[in-house]
Amino acid sequence: MKIIIDDKEIACKPGQTVLEVALENNIDIPTMCYNQLFGKHHSGTCRVCLVEVLVGGKIGMEPACNLAVAEGLTLSDLQAFAPRLLGAMKLQILTTGNLTQNEAAALRQTLVAGLPPQAPQPGVVTLERAMLLTPGETLTHSFKVKDANSAIYLYYQAGPRSLVQEAGLDLLNLMLEKPFYHQLRTTEQLGYMVWCGNADLHGVQGFVFLIQSSGHGPAYLKTRIQAFTAQWVKGLAGLSPTEFQEYKTALTNQYAEPPGNLREETARYWRFLEQQRAFNHLALKSEALQGLTQAQFAALAEGLFLSKDSRVLSSEAWGNGNQPSLPPLLAASLHQRHEFVNRETP
């Protein structure tokens, strides 16, 4: 293949970096951290080998030691392609830190001027879909893996998003996480990876159990999860109102805990942005939690795990030495008999 450096056509090999090609052809690009002994693992952090490239329709700078070659591209080609690229981009801007509102607005304007957003092209908008299982349905997806370990991802579906439901699932996670780990990891030693937690899949909320095991197949792991949840839910009858309130207070304190630094604060707000939630989402959940009664919480747990209307999705990875007991999930048939929750992500 051939590339053009400083208006010179130069032969090179796929996979080479611009710096490697330049050095082979006696083109001087200054370096500092680059060392040929490191092969392709140099970091490019010193930025000494910066070269001009086209970024967002304008000339930008990239480290030549990490920039892979591309055949037949010229500056004119890239300039012609830039508008098409920008037309397919979604621009999301989050400003945090020591900025006034006017300074944040000015920064936004600078970004918009440099990367002018355009109306999405047909087909660019992604429709994220989450399937709602019918009440009482268990859907199993089983498959073989070339690994000594087997694993199960058992997802109990609660329903479309609501603040009260989400607060209840958070409370369930707070109460379940440690006893689940202690029983199935420490006591029964089912596997090294034993985890549970609430999940939001494109707007449909639920609760997940995950176990990876080298000694047991998914079928056995599922029976142990089901036995644990059945015993735990029945034990809720012995939970006193004072103990229930203590759990609610602990979760309320978690919601109110401020970020430890600017990085954590930015990550939190960006997560809310990606999930299409309000920036005061934790405060809204805290408010919803205060109205959650012990009877409502018990009904949520029983409905998830013990009810005849429980909706369960089981993803089962069968490792070496285990044979799946169920055929793989046939996704094509699902669209004919299920309701979907849609969320557009342009």
Question: Partners of 316 in the beta sheet?
Answer: 142, 152
Angle at alpha carbon of residue 184, lines to 217 and 169, rounded to 5°? 105
Judgement on whether residues 71 and 6 belong to the same structural domain of the protein: yes
Judgement on whether residues 325 and 182 belong to the same structural domain of the protein: yes
What CATH number corresponds to the domain at position 225?
3.30.830.10
Chain centroid to Cα 342, Å, comes to 18
Q: pLDDT digits over 273-321, tens only?
A: 888 899 999 999 999 999 999 999 999 999 999 999 999 999 999 987 6
**Residue 153 covered by a domain:** yes
State the pLDDT at residue 163.
Answer: 95
State the pLDDT at residue 88.
Answer: 65
Phi and psi (nearest 5°) for 5?
A: -125, 125
Judgement on whether residues 82 and 230 belong to the same structural domain of the protein: no
State the pLDDT at residue 336.
Answer: 45
Choosing from 69, 87, 105, the residue where a domain stops is 87
Judgement on whether residues 136 and 75 belong to the same structural domain of the protein: no
State the pLDDT at residue 180.
Answer: 96
**Residue 103 covered by a domain:** no
Choosing from 87, 108, 141, the residue where a domain stops is 87
Among 292, 277, 278, smallest CA distance to 171 is for: 292
Q: Mean of the per-residue pLDDT values for the chain?
A: 83
Judgement on whether residues 222 and 299 belong to the same structural domain of the protein: yes
**Residue 248 covered by a domain:** yes
pTM above 0.95, yes or no: no
Judgement on whether residues 208 and 320 belong to the same structural domain of the protein: yes
Which segment, 65-74, 82-91, 108-117, 160-169, is predicted with the most confidence on average? Answer: 160-169
State the pLDDT at residue 109.
Answer: 87
Q: pLDDT digits over 137-154, tens only?
A: 999 988 888 888 999 999
**Residue 117 covered by a domain:** no
Token pair in block for residue 115: 């990367």
Cα distances (angstroms) measured from residue 27 to each of 2, 6, 67: 15, 9, 16
Choosing from 87, 115, 150, the residue where a domain stops is 87
Judgement on whether residues 79 and 137 belong to the same structural domain of the protein: no
Token pair in block for residue 93: 């801007």
Yes or no: say if 285 and 170 are a contact pair by the CB < 8 Å rule: yes
Judgement on whether residues 189 and 298 belong to the same structural domain of the protein: yes
DSSP secondary structure code for residue 119 in this structure? P
Judgement on whether residues 178 and 289 belong to the same structural domain of the protein: yes
Yes or no: say if 315 and 153 are a contact pair by the CB < 8 Å rule: yes
Angle at alpha carbon of residue 196, lines to 341 and 340, rounded to 5°? 10
State the pLDDT at residue 274.
Answer: 84
* 176: pLDDT strictly greater than 70: yes
**Residue 161 covered by a domain:** yes
Judgement on whether residues 63 and 199 belong to the same structural domain of the protein: no
Write a three-state SS string for 94-117. CCCCCCCHHHHHHHHHHHHHHCCC
CB atoms under 10 Å from CB of 86, counted, come to 15
> Which of these ranges, 34-38, 43-47, 127-131, 184-188, has the smallest mean pLDDT?
34-38
Judgement on whether residues 196 and 269 belong to the same structural domain of the protein: yes
Mean pLDDT of 331-345: 47
Q: Taking each helix axis from N to C terminus, what angle separates 241-256 and 281-290, rounded to the nearest 10 degrees?
A: 170
Q: pLDDT digits over 9-30, tens only?
A: 888 887 788 888 888 888 888 8
> Which of these ranges, 122-126, 257-261, 336-340, has the smallest mean pLDDT?
336-340
Mean pLDDT of 162-169: 96
Judgement on whether residues 82 and 168 belong to the same structural domain of the protein: no
Into how many domains does the chain fold?
2
* 330: pLDDT strictly greater than 60: no
**Residue 338 covered by a domain:** no
Question: Partners of 51 in the beta sheet?
Answer: 62
What domain range includes position 249? 132-333
What CATH number corresponds to the domain at position 21?
3.10.20.740
**Residue 168 covered by a domain:** yes
SS3 168: helix
